[in-house]
Every structure is written in structure tokens, then in C-alpha cells.
Structure 1
């Protein structure tokens, strides 16, 4: 347990360094925005392309793992929405809270951390989680928000959803990587060296950017924030564990990666959605901060547990 904590400590230390730089004003919000853009469009995309180019679509589409993860997410999503409705929250608020409960920071934290701690074999499962989060649940979010805002789910919705997916560089990096893999061609050495060099920047820059982006966050509505943090860091991994190990009998190693991914704190892009749609951005911002801080203690426990599988 102590060994796992010491292995995760450098990752959280980088987040803390970014937080300190942002809090002190040495790294202003504008710098954080541009660093995030660099990671999102260049470094992390290069890393994901490199991973995907060495996988096949069959490797990525583990139907047992996908089924277990989807069912667990759906249960938690529905539960959090019901709790929100019990408080007489509107549909848009209930939707963003449910999104907080299942969308972990897989891209900026999970990809660099879990691959290092759980091994290269975890790549395909981490990418599976990332794909489900970005395509299926982002689509569900768009549909529910459209209904909440009085919009209609019409024939143009599939095109709008597809457009949103195409504009996401991480999704497209995986698609292009899998397409390249399907050709059977080796990535040319100069290109591979370029991708490796650029992708190596993803881990430190992403972690630093997470910390810097948290520097201006404030904790408001502590009762709701505590509930959402509990749902993300406890209910979500427990639901995934029950579905993967019990209902779907997923391979233990793959199940461990799924559980570890579910134990990640709330993703920063949930705040972007909340801010764009003005659906409780303050509570989402606070939940990202609190869940990230609490995960310093909880994530090593989960990773130590699943490494025993």
C-alpha cells in the first residue's frame, strides 16, 4: 500500500506544483488555457495515436468489459439523477451532476498514470473507457441538455453529435491510430520518434495543467459537492467492480483497470460543459477540486487493491 502511494505521489506532486504556480499568480489563467490547449491538441493526441496505432479494433472492443462499464455507469448516472430530482433540481442540473459522477479524468490523469502503474497492457482498457465516456455519455449529455432547454431531438441531432466527436482531437487521434493499425503498416521511424517525443510531454504538462486549472476554484454548496465526490470516488468504482467481477465475469486484470479508471476524480471537461450550458458551473468546479484532493488518498488504495488481481 505504501509502495503504491509512493508511486502515485510524483503524479499528484506535479498537480500540486501546477496548483501552487497558479495560486501564486506566477502561472496566470491565460497561460493555463494555452498549456491545456497544447496538451489537448498536440501532446496527448500524439500519445493516444501512438497507443492506438499499436492496437487493433478487436483489442479495443472487449464486449464484456464494455458491457460491465456501461451498466455500472448507467446505474450510477440514474441514481445521481434521482437524488437530484428528489431535491427538485431541474433536468439540466440533474444531468450535469450525473455527468460528474461517472466522467473521470481519464485523458489528462488516467492515461499517463494508469499506464505507468498498471502496465502497458492496460492501454486498451483505458482507451475503451475514454471512448465510452467521450462518445456514448457525451452524446447522452447532449440529448438530455437539448431536452432540458426546450430543444427538439430531431433528424439533425445525429449530425451534431458526430460533428462534436469529429472536433475532439483525442477521439480523432484514436480513430486515426486504429485506422493506421488496420493497414498493417509500421509507423515510419522518424514519425514514430516524433510522436514519442511529443507524447512524452503529455504526462508532465497535463498534470501541471490540472493543478493550475484548480487554482481559482472555490468550494461552494459543500453538501452537494460532498455527495458528488462520494458518488464519483466510491459509488462509481464499486458499481464497476460489481458489474465487472460479478455480473460479466471480466478478466481480473481488465476488471482491475476498469475499477481504477472509475476511481479517477471528476474530469475538467465537465466544468467546460457546465459553464457552456450554465448548468451549475460553481458546484461542478468545486466537485472537481474536492474530488481531485480526496483522490490523493483514495486512488492509491484502489490501485493497491486491483494490483492484487
Structure 2
């Protein structure tokens, strides 16, 4: 347990360094925005393309795995939605809260951390989790919010969702990487070195950007933030574990990666969506802040459990 905590500590220290730089305004919000853009569009995309280009789609695509993660996530999504509706928050706010309850920081935190801690074989399962989050739940929040505003579902909503997916650099990088792999094209040495150098900037850049962005967020609405954090850090990995280990009997290693990914704190892009649609951005901000802080303690526990390192 202590060994796992010490392995995760450098990641959170990088987040803390970014938080300190942002809090003291040594790294102002404008700089954070540009660093995030660099990581999102360039460094992380290079890392994902490099990973995907060395994978075989037939080996990565595991429908029982996808089903287990999708069902476990959908259950918690439904619970968070129901609680929000019972509090009379409306469909749009419920969609934002449900997103906080299940969408973890897989891109910026999960990929570098889990690949390092669980081994390079974790790349495939982590990418499947990321794909489900982006394609299914990333589309669902847009459909719910836009549909609730318009009072109906229209083809325009589907066009908006499709364009959003096509513009997401993570989806594009993974798709192009898998296509490159399917064509069995070798990666030329200069290109491989280019991807390695650029991709190496993703981990420190992403973690620093997470911390710097947290410096602009507040811990308001602690009661709701606490509930959403409980959903994300406890209920979500528990539901996914039940589906993976009991209902679908997924391969133990793949299940471990899935559960660890489900235990990640709330993703920053939830706040971006909430801010874009002007729906409960303060609530999303608080959930991101509280879940990230508490995950310093909870994430090592989950990783120790799934890897059998709890002793």
C-alpha cells in the first residue's frame, strides 16, 4: 500500500506544483489555457497516436470489456441523474452532475499514470475507457442539454455531436493511430523520434496544467461536490468492479485497469462543457477540485487493491 502511494505521489506533486504556480499567479490563467491547449492538441495527441499505431484493433476491441464499463458507468450516471432530479435541479443540471459522477480525468491523468503503474499492456484498456467516455457520455450530455433547451431531439443535435467527436484530437489521434496500425505501415525513424519527444511532454504538461487550472476553481457547494466526489471516487469504481468481476468475468488484468480508470477524479472537460452551456459551472468546478484533492488518498487504495499490493 505504501509502495503504491509513493509511486502515485510524483504525479500528485506535479499537480501540486502547477496549483502553486497558478495560485501565486506566477502562472496566470491565460498561460494555463495555452499550456492545456498545447497538451490537448499536440503532446497528448502524439502520445495517443504513438500508442495506437503499435496496437492491433482486433486485440484492443473487447466487447465484454466495453459492456462491463458501459453498464457500470450507466448505473452511476442514472443514480446521479435521479438524485439531481429529486432535488428539482432540472434535466440540464442533472446532466452536468451525472457527468461529474462518472467522467474521470483519463486523458490527462489516467493514461500517463496507469501505463506507468500497471505496465504498457494497460494502454489498450485505458483507450477503450477513454473512447466510451468521449463517444457515449460525451455525446449524451450534449444531447440532453440541447434537447432540453429545444424541447425536442432534432437532426441538428446529431450533427453537433458528430462534429464535436470529429474535432476531438484524442479521438482523431486514436483513430489515425489504429488506421496506421491496420495498414501495417512502419513508423519511419524520424517520425517515431518526433512522436516520442512530443509525446514525452504530455505527462508533465498535463499534470502541471491540471494543478494550475485547479487554482482558478473554488470549493463552493461542498455538500453537492462531496456527493458527486463520492459517486466518482467510490460508487463508480465499485459499480464497474461488480460488472467486470462478477457479471462479465473480464480478464483480471483488464478489469484492474478498468477499475483503476473508474477511480480517477472528475475530468476538467466537464467544467469546460458546463461553462460553455452556462449550466452549473461552479458545481462542476467544486466537484473537480474536491475529487482531485481526495483522490490523492483514494486512488492509491484502489490501485493497491486491484494489483494485490495492499499488504
| TM-score grouping bracket, smaller chain normalisation | over 0.9
The correspondence of residues 121-270 of structure 1 with structure 2, limited to 5 A, is: 121-270=121-270
CA distance in 2, matches of 1:280, 1:159: 25
* 8 Å CA contact retained: 2:61, 2:128: yes
In structure 2, the residue matched to 1:24 is: 24
2:12 aligned with 1:12: yes
Q: How much has 1:189 moved relative to structure 2?
A: 0.9
Q: How much has 1:94 moved relative to structure 2?
A: 0.4
Q: Residues 218-239 of structure 1: CA distance to partner in whole angstroms, max 9, x if unpaired? A: 1111111100000000000000
In structure 1, the residue matched to 2:279 is: 279
CA distance in 2, matches of 1:303, 1:204: 21
Q: Secondary structure at the match of 1:149?
A: helix
Q: Secondary structure at the match of 2:170?
A: helix
In structure 2, the residue matched to 1:76 is: 76
Q: Residues 121-149 of structure 1: CA distance to partner in whole angstroms, max 9, x if unpaired? A: 00000000000001111111111111221
RMSD: 0.9
Q: How much has 1:109 moved relative to structure 2?
A: 0.1
Query: What 5-or-longer segments of structure 1 have no aligned partner?
Result: none
CA distance in 2, matches of 1:37, 1:152: 34
Q: Secondary structure at the match of 1:5?
A: helix
Q: How much has 1:186 moved relative to structure 2?
A: 1.0
Provide the TM-score with structure 2 as the length reference. 0.98
In structure 2, the residue matched to 1:104 is: 104
Q: How much has 1:151 moved relative to structure 2?
A: 4.6
**Residues 14-23 or 59-68, more deviating:** 59-68
Provide the TM-score with structure 1 as the length reference. 0.98
CA distance in 2, matches of 1:163, 1:60: 25
In structure 2, the residue matched to 1:60 is: 60
CA distance in 2, matches of 1:61, 1:72: 18
Q: How much has 1:117 moved relative to structure 2?
A: 0.2
**Residues 139-148 or 94-103, more deviating:** 139-148
CA distance in 2, matches of 1:16, 1:216: 13
CA distance in 1, matches of 2:98, 2:307: 28
Q: Residues 52-74 of structure 1: CA distance to partner in whole angstroms, max 9, x if unpaired? A: 00112222211111000000011
* 8 Å CA contact retained: 2:214, 2:289: yes
Q: How much has 1:217 moved relative to structure 2?
A: 1.1
Q: How much has 1:158 moved relative to structure 2?
A: 2.7
